[in-house]
Amino acid sequence: MADKFLIDKAKTVLNQNFQKKGFTIPSKNLYPFQWKWDSGFIAIGFAHFDMEKAKKEINSLLNAQWKNGFIPHIVFHTKNDSYFPGADFHKSSLHPQSPAHIDTSGITQPPVLGFVLEKLYNIADDKEDVLNFLKNQIDKVYKNHKYFYSKRDINNEGLVYIYHNWESGTDNSPVWDDIWKTMNPPRYKFERKDTTHVDYSQRPTDREYDHYIDIIELAKKFNYDDHKIAKHSPFLVQDPLFNSILIRSNESLIKLYKILGGNEEKIKYLKSKNEKSLTSINEKLYNSSIGAYSHFDLRNKKNIPLICSSSFSPLFCGAPDFKKAQRLKNTLVEKFGKEDYYLCSSFDPEGIQHDQKKYWRGPVWINLNWILYQGFKRYKFKETAKRIKNDSLELVDKFGFYEYFNPSKENSKKNNKGYGGENFSWSAALTIDFLHEK
């Protein structure tokens, strides 16, 4: 399909998912609210053809920021009972610093906004207009980074924790399987809505949901108090993806503050935190025995030596030296890059837990591909970068803007479609960005 035609189709998806209240849903029916990292990717897509909508997207998300700097993973702008768990379950009002004017969740998602603001600036024709916008928004993002470093870096090592698998964005990754074994949640009574829209075989199991719900019940019991959550949550993980995104966003905030001028203290703070983060991500999360970065289970004090697409994300923030980067590339190509496979499967295709259909246990996701593409490009691994980009474009072109895709070329062809939500916003948004990249 010609680029122009694909771009037009992607624009239509974004425009149709854009809501009157100034935010964009990830996908009709399945995800009827605003999601944090989705919004960031969506804003990048809009920035190429409708900067006003890109700005609105960021505005509406930041409008739900908590007074302590926390940005929630879902903002419930409207009432809608087609999603579980909704506003009544999350009960953000339990936290004294949550906003009174809007309901949100009490968990977060990867801190994409820093690098998204930089992308908006780079894409904009009218730099002055975007600088004015940035002037009003950037401190909110800075405050969010301060929140992470002051509340979620409990060992003061420059690595922040996530306390829920939904915070990682990679919801049901096999990386969490051993943590679930340390818990024994009750069988909660709830009515899942996702499986009325998408086949059960492509979604997490009910028993997995019991664990997801149980952690939120615990956080609610503590009124979402960070300190108590850090002390008691059975799930407390340092995630290479989450931390790489934080580092990459630090880098962007520093650049933007320099352009804006007069922000020396903030630049100093970000630089010192960033240095520590870069050192620790290499020292603690790089795992030479598997040739990739991996997650650290803070609660059980052990490394989780599994390889997933997040394992390569430190390339995005420039963490590895050239030798490590080379090793990452080899691991990716050898394990994930077999000829009959699209890059990049969300979980090690050689791992026993790999499942081609099930969400974050194997399928290819366009947002992770975009992050890895930027990472390999940063290290000038042109061939690998090009393959990730081409595979992403081939998938959306052949099958549509799905939420995720079967990594096997043969099985994708057999199905002749992707999985999960259709007309999925970030798949469309990042296609637009891919097609504008030189």
Please identify every residue annotated as catalytic. 171, 403
The nearest distance, CB 240 to ligand GLC, in angstroms, is 16
Q: How many residues sit in the footprint of ligand GLC (CB under 6 A)?
A: 7
The nearest distance, CB 174 to ligand GLC, in angstroms, is 14
Nearer to ligand GLC, 17 or 233 (CB): 17
Residue range at the interface with ligand GLC (CB under 6 A); choices 33-41, 240-248, 324-332, 382-390: 33-41
Tokens of residue 293, six digits: 């970065």
List the one residue from 9, 13, 34, 38 that touches ligand GLC (CB under 6 A).
38
Residue range at the interface with ligand GLC (CB under 6 A); choices 34-42, 75-83, 97-105, 273-281: 34-42
208 binds ligand GLC (CB under 6 A): no
Nearer to ligand GLC, 325 or 364 (CB): 364
Angle value at C-alpha 166, between 277 and 179, nearest 5 degrees: 80
What is d(CA 218, CA 229) in angstroms, rounded to the nearest whole number? 8
- 118-126 own/partner pairs: CB under 8 Å, 24+ apart: 118/252, 118/255, 118/256, 119/44, 119/47, 119/433, 120/43, 120/44, 120/47, 120/51, 120/54, 120/55, 120/58, 121/256, 121/259, 123/44, 123/47, 123/48, 123/51, 123/436, 124/47, 124/51, 126/51
163 binds ligand GLC (CB under 6 A): no
Nearer to ligand GLC, 325 or 368 (CB): 368
The nearest distance, CB 130 to ligand GLC, in angstroms, is 25
362 binds ligand GLC (CB under 6 A): no
List the one residue from 14, 22, 23, 31 that touches ligand GLC (CB under 6 A).
31
Please report, as residue ranges, which positions from 167 to 196 form the binding site for ligand GLC (by CB under 6 A).
169, 171
Residue range at the interface with ligand GLC (CB under 6 A); choices 30-38, 46-54, 55-63, 265-273: 30-38
List the one residue from 18, 23, 35, 133 that touches ligand GLC (CB under 6 A).
35
Tokens of residue 414, six digits: 């057999």
Tokens of residue 153, six digits: 């870096």
The nearest distance, CB 164 to ligand GLC, in angstroms, is 11
Nearer to ligand GLC, 37 or 121 (CB): 37
The nearest distance, CB 135 to ligand GLC, in angstroms, is 28
Q: Which of 346, 131, 387, 353 is nearest to 259 (CA)?
A: 131
**Alpha-carbon torsion 158, 430, 338, 199, what sign?**
positive
The nearest distance, CB 190 to ligand GLC, in angstroms, is 16
Residue range at the interface with ligand GLC (CB under 6 A); choices 35-43, 178-186, 209-217, 253-261: 35-43
Site string for ligand GLC, 66-105 (x = CB under 6 A): ----------------------------------------
The nearest distance, CB 132 to ligand GLC, in angstroms, is 29
The nearest distance, CB 392 to ligand GLC, in angstroms, is 16
The nearest distance, CB 35 to ligand GLC, in angstroms, is 4
List the one residue from 23, 37, 235, 379 that touches ligand GLC (CB under 6 A).
37
224 binds ligand GLC (CB under 6 A): no
110 binds ligand GLC (CB under 6 A): no
26 binds ligand GLC (CB under 6 A): yes
Nearer to ligand GLC, 192 or 276 (CB): 192
Nearer to ligand GLC, 171 or 210 (CB): 171
Nearer to ligand GLC, 121 or 424 (CB): 424
Residues near ligand GLC, by CB under 6 A:
26, 31, 35, 37-38, 169, 171
